[in-house]
Amino acid sequence: MPSTKFFNSEPIVVICNLSTRLNDTLTRLIASEPAWKSLGCRIASHEVEQCETSLDKNNSNSMEDCMHQHTHFRSSCLALICGSTLVALNQSAQASGFAIPELNITGLATSNAMVANPDSLGAIAYNPAAMSFHEGSSAAAGVILVKPDLSVDTGSGNIDSDGNDVVAIPVLTAHDQLSEEWALGISINAPFGLETDWALETFDDQYPVGSFIPTQTKLEIVAFSPSAAFKVNQQASLSFGVDYYWMREVIFSSKLNNMSTYPNFNLEGDGRSVGFNLGALLVVDNWSFGGSYHSSSKIKAEGTLKDEGGVLPANLSDNVTATLELPWRLQIGVRNQTTDKLAIEFDYTRTGWNTFDTLVVKNEEFGSTIFTSINAFDNANAYRLGATYDFSEATQLRVGYTYDETPQGDKYFSPRVPDADRQLFSLGIGHTLSGGWTIDAGYMYVKFDERTIDSPRSAVAGEELNGTTAVNGSYDSSVHLLGFGVTKHFM
C-alpha cells in the first residue's frame, strides 16, 4: 500500500489513482468508467474536509496521520475485495436456474427481501434508488462462503458432484451523495454462476455409445453496476444505471462414450455484454414500496474447443463462439415499519428465464454449428419474506424466508444445470460501532426439493439428450452460506 507521505502530498490524486489501479485489475472497462472515478474522487474530497476540520479542533494530529487513518482500511478493503472478485468466483447457484441473488451480507440474512428498504445501506445493491435516502458516502465490503452439496442417484449408485468445495464470493458496494437530489453508486457482485463436475461413471451406463457424457460445467459472471439516483421529493426516488457483465470463464467439458478411452471434448471461453437497470422507491408514513429491474443481456462467448477424440473435421479451426442470453429480472416489494423496533418486508421476484432456450456453439471461421443444447427454461417466480428487529440502538437482528420456483421442466432436464424448487432460510445480525462503522454477519440454508427424472424417451446418439433416459436419476442438493461484512458510513 502507498506510504503516508503520498497521502500528505496529494490525497485526492492518490485515492483516485488507487481506484484506477484496482479497477484495472478487475477490467479495463471499469477503469475508464466516469461514474466510478467520480465516486472515488468525491469520497476522497470528503476525507480531506474531515481531516481539515479535525486539525482545526486539535493540532496534535498531522494531516498525514489523519489521512492515513481515514483511508488506510477503506483502500485495503477495496484492494482485497476487488482483487478477490477475480480469483474466487466458482459459484453454485442458490436461486432458480443459475442465478445468485445474494448481493451482500444484509440481503443474505433477510433472504434478499431488500428492494423496499429505505433505512439500510445494504438495500443499495438491490435497489440503487435507496441511495437517495442516505446522506454522505459509504463503502461496504464482504465475503460469502458457499458450501454446496449436490449428488445424484443413478444406475451407477449415489455419486457426489466434484464441485462441492467451499467457495468464497466477495461483494462490494459504494455510494456518494453528490447533492440533495443526486447520488452515485456502484455495486460489484456475481449475480450468475454455477459449477457441476460429474465423474465419468455417473452417467456412463446411461449415455449411448457415440454420445458425449457431461462432466464439468462452469460459469463465472461478474457484474459491475454503476448507477445514479435522483430524489424526486422527500418520499420518492428514481434510479438508472448500467450493468456491465463479464463472463470471466465458461467451461463445457464432456467425454466421448467410445466404450474404451473416453477422450475429452472441452470448450472454454469468455465474453462481455452490457445491460441496464432501473429502480424506484417510495416512502409513505410507515410503509415503503420499491422495485428494481435489470434488463436481459446477450453475452457472445468466444473461446476454443479441444477435441482429443478427433471427432470434428480436421479442416475446422478450434475457435468457437456461442451466445448466452442472461434473463431479465424484476423485483418489487412492500415494507412496513410495524413498530419502532420491528419492520417486515415482502418481495416478489420474476425472472425471465425463457431467454435460456437453446445454446448453439458454432465454428468461428465457417459459422457451422458444432453442437446444440436445448434447455427450454420457463419464466420463474420467487417469494421473499424478511424481517428486521432493532434489539438495541446499535444491534439489529434479521431473519428471512424464500420460496423459489425452478424454471427447468422435465422435458429438457440437464445434469449440467440440475435445478429444482427450493426453500431459503436465513438469519443474521448487524452491529453499529463508533465512527460510522457497522459489522454484519448472516447465514442461509438452501434446501432443494429432491428432483427425480424418470423419462421414457430413449437416448439416441446424435440427437438431443437432455430430458431422455440418459439423465434419469434422483438429484438432491442443499447449500450452506455464511457471510461477513463491514460498512463504513462517511457523514
Domain residue ranges in the chain: 1-87, 97-490
Residue 450 has pLDDT above 60, yes or no: yes
**How many Å apart are CA 9 and CA 48, to the nearest integer?**
12
Looking at residue 341, the DSSP 8-state letter turns out to be S
In the prediction, which pLDDT does 366 show? 76
Question: How much is the mean pLDDT over the chain?
Answer: 83
Predicted confidence at residue 155, as pLDDT, reads: 79
Determine the Cα–Cα distance for residues 16 and 71; give it in Å rounded to an integer: 12
Name the nearest CA neighbour of 327 among 192, 225, 128, 127. Answer: 192
Please tell me what DSSP assigns to residue 46: H
Distances (CA, A) of 145 to 4, 152, 157, 192, 488: 34, 23, 29, 16, 22
Nearest CA among 230, 143, 142, 222 for reference residue 185: 230
Q: How confident is the model at residue 177 (pLDDT cuts 50, 70, 90)?
A: very high
Paired strand residues for 437:
488
For residue 65, CA distances in Å to 11, 69, 198, 421 come to 12, 6, 54, 54
How confident is residue 43, by pLDDT bands cut at 50, 70 and 90?
Answer: very low
Interval 201-213 mean pLDDT: 92
Task: Quote the pLDDT of residue 262.
Answer: 92
Read off the pLDDT of residues 358-401 as tens digits, 9 standing for 90 and up: 889 888 877 788 888 999 999 999 999 999 999 999 999 999 99
Query: How confident is the model over 84-112, as a mean pLDDT?
Result: 73
- Of 86-95, 279-288, 304-313, 384-393, the poorest mean pLDDT is in 86-95
Reported pTM = 0.82
Can you tell me the distance from the alpha carbon of 288 to that of 274, in angstroms, rounded to the nearest whole number? 30
Kindly indicate the confidence band of residue 95, based on its pLDDT and cuts at 50, 70 and 90. Answer: low
Please report the pLDDT score of residue 91 as a whole number. Answer: 42
Residue 22 has pLDDT above 50, yes or no: no
CB 398, CB 110: distance < 8 Å: yes
- What mean pLDDT comes out for the span 231-256? 95
Q: Which of 197-206, 294-303, 315-324, 448-457 has the lowest mean pLDDT?
A: 315-324
User: What's the chain's length in residues?
Assistant: 491
pLDDT attached to residue 279: 98
The stretch 344-357 carries a mean pLDDT of: 96
For the segment 322-332, the average pLDDT, to the nearest whole number, is 95
Question: Does the pLDDT at position 38 exceed 60?
Answer: no
Average pLDDT over residues 426-450: 97
What letter would DSSP give residue 99?
B
- Residue 58 burial (C-beta neighbours within 10 Å; 0-12, 13-18, 19+): exposed
The reported pLDDT for the residue numbered 93 is 53
Report the pLDDT value the prediction gives residue 312, as an integer from 0 to 100.
Answer: 75
For the beta carbon of residue 234, count every other beta carbon within 10 angstroms.
9
How buried is 293 (Cβ within 10 angstroms: 0-12 exposed, 13-18 middle, 19+ buried)? Answer: middle
Classify domain 97-490 by CATH architecture.
Beta Barrel (2.40)
Is residue 84 scored above 80 in pLDDT? no
Give the range among 10-19, 173-182, 206-215, 428-437 with minimum mean pLDDT: 10-19
Query: Would the pLDDT of 17 be above 60?
Result: no
Higher pLDDT, 403 or 204: 403
Distance CA 330, CA 190 (A): 17
